[in-house]
Amino acid sequence: MRQLIGTLLIGLTLGSIYSLMALALVLVWRSTRVVNFAQAGQAIVTTYIAYEIVTRTGVFWLAVLFAVVAGALLGAGVEYFLMRTLFRHVDEGPVAALAPVIATLGLLGVIKSLVGMIWGNDFRSFYPPVSTDNFVLFGETIPFSRFNILVILSTTVVMIIFSFIFQRTDLGLSLRAAAFQPEIARLAGIRVGPIRTIGWVFAGVAGAIAGVLITPNDVLSPASLDVLLVFGFVAAVIGGLESLPGAVLGGVVLGIGVSFVLNYVGTTLIFPTVFVVLLLALIFKPNGLLGSKKVRSA
């Protein structure tokens, strides 16, 4: 029983972080119809910035603030300087139409190389603002810490804020409209370019928070967020790629699934399991767990 509860709690924590990366991917997808593989690269830069701040000042929350601002600026920069250029040519053929997605893969490689050149390939780490020591309940150690609670709370708050913006503000409505029918959105008075940039800014923020929250329980290296990108992407697909609550649900389902494999089967089967889940999701729920033609996505 103790192992079962522990497995669920670990899964919930892992799932929260996958959810944040999934949110970042969904936000970009919803605003520009691009799967942003560079999201991991952007997040690794912001996490190294956080690392620099936290090692120099010892103030974790200042590091989070810097990471979030850097994530927002990076997101805006990638959209403004790279995506807008590529989007001018998307009507010129099938390859040009795919160019923005392919470019994000290229950008991921460039960013990781640059990060390796600047910070090296050594593993680094930084301490969280609260304890990572597991709770002891009735004499039993539960694999759940104050930091895990912080991770889950942070994800919940971020999800609520983004859902509120998307569902209850004119900005959110504009973001949703601009993604699907940019020309008609323009005729309704929406400046589609800046609106798309805002979508990338939000995604940059979510990715930055994910990077900062996963590192205290892990290590930091130029490739350390690659797995997070893959799992975040799978979570986003499970959630339907369109829906913010779907991304969170997908992350939690995947996190708990990974935790069960980790605790009851072994680490070697984690990746095969994740990709089998991805394939099953695509085959049986291609519109995602919350996706349906008749149900409005958040």
Partner 1 sequence: MTSTERVLAIRDLSVNFGGLKALSKVNIDLHQGEVLGLIGPNGAGKTTVFNALSGLVTPASGSLELYGRKVKWPKPYQLVTNGIARTLQGVGLFPDLTVLENVMMGAHHLAKAGLTQSFLGLVEKDEGHLRELAQTALERVYVGSLAERRADTLAYPDTKRVAIARALVSQPKILLLDEPAGGLGPQDIEWFNGLVRNIKSHTSVIIVEHHMDVVMSICDRISVLNFGELIASGTKDEVRNNPDVIAAYLGSHKAGAK
Please report, as ranges, the residues that interact with partner 1 according to CB under 8 A.
164-165, 168-171, 173-174, 176-177, 180-181, 183-192, 198, 242, 293-294, 296-297
In the bound complex, what is the minimum distance in angstroms from residue 89's beta carbon to partner 1? 18
Nearer to partner 1, 32 or 104 (CB): 32
* b/e burial code for range 123-153 (CB count within 10 A of at least 16 → b): eeebebeeeeebeeeeeeebbbbebbebbbe
Nearer of residues 2 and 191 to partner 1, judged by Cβ: 191
Which CB, 77 or 291, lies closer to partner 1? 291
- Identify which of residues 96 and 177 has a Cβ nearer to partner 1 in the complex: 177
Spatial separation of the C-alpha atoms in residues 74 and 48, rounded to whole Å: 13
Nearest approach, Cβ of residue 77 and partner 1 (Å): 19
Can you read off the two tokens belonging to residue 219? 């290590």
**CB neighbour list of residue 279: distance below 8 Å, 6 or more residues apart:** none
Comparison of 93 and 120: residue with beta carbon closer to partner 1: 93
Chain position carrying tokens 């997605």: 101
Least distance in Å: CB of 154 to partner 1?
17
Q: Least CB distance from residue 203 to partner 1, whole Å?
A: 15
Report how far residue 121's alpha carbon sits from residue 85's, in angstroms, rounded to the nearest whole number. 32
Taking the complex as a whole, the smallest distance from the CB of residue 252 to partner 1 amounts, in Å, to 24
Q: How far is the CB of 198 from partner 1 (least distance, A)?
A: 8
Q: Give the bridge partners for 124, in sequence order.
A: 220
Query: Which residue, 184 or 223, has its beta carbon nearer to partner 1?
Result: 184
> Nearest approach, Cβ of 205 to partner 1 (angstroms)?
12
Closest separation in Å from C-beta 257 to partner 1:
29
